[in-house]
């Protein structure tokens, strides 16, 4: 991703990029995981400008953790297109930090939206961390927009296709657990090349509840109803994640 054109003003980051070949699927369309990655990078640049990025908070023993991702596109961009992403922080809600995103094509037309929900975690105890100065930093930057919190992904009813899943080494991030950027890739892989060559995922939501680690086996469940789907993982009865979304026939 070519993200050299970055501007942050009043806490809002505008990132202009070129959709590269390595971010696209076999139809040369931007992959879902590349969308989530771009949202995270835009968020990082905004936090960095505010002094509340990963490295700044690591000194205080805290980590940013994402719990929800929502994505919806009217048209998914293709390889070679220019795209502009606006990452707009929302007013904190207690210990929750929501963000809103707007995606526009090279002509300035909005083609997609997104939302994420973050909280802070203590790096040692892995429990919720409360840092009042982070919320104060956002408020001092003039962040007053408040919308509804991102909605949670939900499982469909019905009998699932069940599998046992262990993350691969390349799924892991610097914290030693599976990167949250990889979960939607797993969903695409479960559908397989046959389905994914005919359909794109234009709308999806991800809810993260529990870390997925390389030394653990997760029970995976895929449910479909028409073009709607849900993809979820469990450790026994403990939910690890849920993804839901809609498949759209490729044109």
Which residue would you say has higher pLDDT here, 101 or 213? 101
pLDDT at 115 over 90: yes
pLDDT at 177 over 90: no
Section 84-103 average pLDDT: 95
Section 4-8 average pLDDT: 84
pLDDT at 2 over 80: no
Specify the pLDDT at position 4: 58
pLDDT at 236 over 90: no
* pTM, 2 dp: 0.94
> CATH 3.10.129.10 occupies which residues in the chain?
2-140, 161-249
Q: Mind listing the pLDDT tens digit for each residue in 9-53?
A: 888 999 999 999 999 999 999 999 999 999 999 999 999 999 999
Domain spanning 161-249 has what CATH number? 3.10.129.10
Specify the pLDDT at position 218: 87
Section 80-97 average pLDDT: 95
Question: Which of 1.10.760.10, 3.20.20.140, 3.90.1010.10, 3.10.129.10 is the CATH number of 2-140?
Answer: 3.10.129.10
Q: Mean pLDDT in the chain?
A: 93
Q: Please answer whether residues 206 and 187 qualify as being in contact, where contact means their C-beta atoms are separated by less than 8 angstroms.
A: no
Q: Mind listing the pLDDT tens digit for each residue in 178-230?
A: 999 999 999 999 999 999 999 999 999 999 999 888 887 889 999 999 999 99
């Amino acid at each position: 991703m070519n993200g050299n054109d970055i501007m942050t003003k009043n806490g809002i980051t505008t990132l202009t990029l070129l959709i590269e070949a390595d971010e696209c699927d076999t139809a040369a369309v931007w992959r879902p995981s590349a969308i989530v990655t771009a949202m995270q990078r835009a968020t990082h640049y905004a936090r960095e400008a505010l002094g509340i990025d990963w490295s700044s908070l690591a000194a205080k023993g805290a980590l940013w953790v994402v719990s929800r991702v929502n994505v919806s596109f009217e048209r998914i961009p293709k390889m070679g297109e220019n795209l502009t992403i606006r990452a707009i922080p929302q007013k904190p809600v207690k210990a929750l930090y929501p963000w809103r995103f707007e995606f526009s094509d090279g002509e300035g037309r909005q083609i997609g939206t997104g939302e994420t929900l973050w909280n802070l975690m203590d790096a040692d105890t892995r429990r919720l961390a409360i840092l009042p100065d982070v919320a104060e930093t956002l408020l001092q930057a003039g962040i007053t927009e408040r919308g509804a919190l991102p909605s949670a992904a939900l499982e469909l009813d019905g009998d699932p296709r069940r599998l046992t899943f262990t993350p691969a080494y390349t799924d892991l991030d610097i914290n030693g657990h599976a990167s949250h950027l990889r979960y939607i890739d797993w969903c695409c892989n479960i559908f397989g090349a046959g389905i994914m060559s005919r359909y794109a995922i234009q709308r999806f939501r991800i809810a993260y509840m529990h870390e997925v680690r390389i030394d653990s086996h997760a029970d995976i469940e895929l449910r479909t109803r028409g073009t709607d789907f849900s993809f979820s993982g469990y450790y026994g009865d403990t939910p690890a994640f849920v993804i839901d979304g809609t498949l759209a026939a490729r044109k």
